[in-house]
């Protein structure tokens, strides 16, 4: 009796959890976001002046539904605080803008055959990013505190690869990397002068977290 119990436990650790159709998986990650950016000048007031969007740590939550053991749908999101620093002609201003981003993303995932306790997957999907609460900061706030800033929403594609590692039949450790297409256009009017800034964020997001199966 004792031997059979120990054997069953060792097999469970080796084989990992079995995924079935209709399963749910909820994950919470810490994500390090690195923008791979291509930004325009702030025109017409600052030719030769642009901004850099700084790397940031942010929490992320996702819910995955397994249509079959191999095919799943993932919905993920979070709130990302972004800080924009001036570059070139705007570098003396330091940080110029703060803005928050809400980027819900829907992924179609393919889950490969598990390797012991490891469940690798890839995904592709659609991202919508809503920008809000944009305001001047740093040197721009000192120069023109009443500057009005608006940032247009963005649609784009997203791709991912990752793996869930079973801790037991319910809990997993997750590692995930995503690339998300985010194209932004901002309008700002320091000192009453309308200006436009276009930039492609296209961030790479590397995340590690915990998940639970239901």
Helix, coil or strand: residue 10: helix
CA–CA separation, 24 and 213 (whole Å): 6
Residues counted in the chain: 214
Report the first-to-last Cα separation within the chain, whole angstroms. Answer: 30
pLDDT score, position 54: 87
Nearest C-alpha neighbor of 80 from the set 29, 145, 136: 29
pLDDT one-digit tens code per residue, 29-49: 999 999 987 777 777 767 777
Least reliable range by pLDDT among 7-21, 48-62, 104-118? 7-21
Least reliable range by pLDDT among 24-28, 34-38, 113-117, 204-208? 34-38
What CATH fold (topology level) applies to the domain 2-213? Porin (2.40.160)
Percent of the chain at pLDDT exceeding 70: 90
pLDDT score, position 146: 74
Q: Residue 9: pLDDT band by 50, 70, 90 thresholds?
A: very low
CA–CA separation, 95 and 139 (whole Å): 6
Longest dimension (CA), the chain: 82
Q: Residue 14: pLDDT band by 50, 70, 90 thresholds?
A: low
Q: Is the pLDDT of residue 1 over 60?
A: no
pLDDT one-digit tens code per residue, 167-199: 999 999 999 999 999 988 888 887 777 878 888
Q: Domain residues of the chain, as ranges?
A: 2-213
Q: Is the pLDDT of residue 61 over 90?
A: yes
């Amino acid at each position: 009796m004792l031997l059979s119990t120990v054997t069953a436990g060792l097999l469970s650790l080796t084989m990992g959890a079995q995924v079935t159709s209709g399963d749910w998986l909820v994950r919470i990650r810490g994500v390090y976001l690195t923008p791979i950016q291509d930004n325009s000048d702030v025109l017409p007031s600052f030719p030769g002046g642009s901004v850099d969007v700084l790397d940031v740590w942010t929490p992320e939550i996702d819910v995955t539904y397994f249509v079959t053991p191999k095919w799943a749908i993932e919905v993920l999101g979070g709130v990302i605080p972004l800080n924009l620093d001036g570059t070139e002609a705007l570098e003396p201003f330091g940080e110029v803008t703060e803005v928050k981003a809400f980027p819900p993303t829907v992924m179609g995932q393919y889950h490969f055959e598990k390797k012991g306790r490891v469940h690798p997957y890839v995904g592709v999907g659609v991202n919508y990013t809503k920008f809000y609460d944009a305001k001047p900061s740093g040197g721009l706030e000192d120069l023109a505190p009443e500057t009005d800033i608006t940032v247009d929403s963005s649609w784009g594609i997203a791709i991912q690869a990752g793996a869930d590692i079973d801790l037991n039949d319910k809990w997993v450790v997750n590692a995930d990397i995503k690339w998300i297409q985010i194209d932004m256009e901002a309008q700002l009017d320091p000192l009453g002068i309308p200006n436009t800034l276009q930039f492609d964020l296209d961030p790479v997001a590397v995340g590690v977290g915990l998940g639970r199966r239901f």
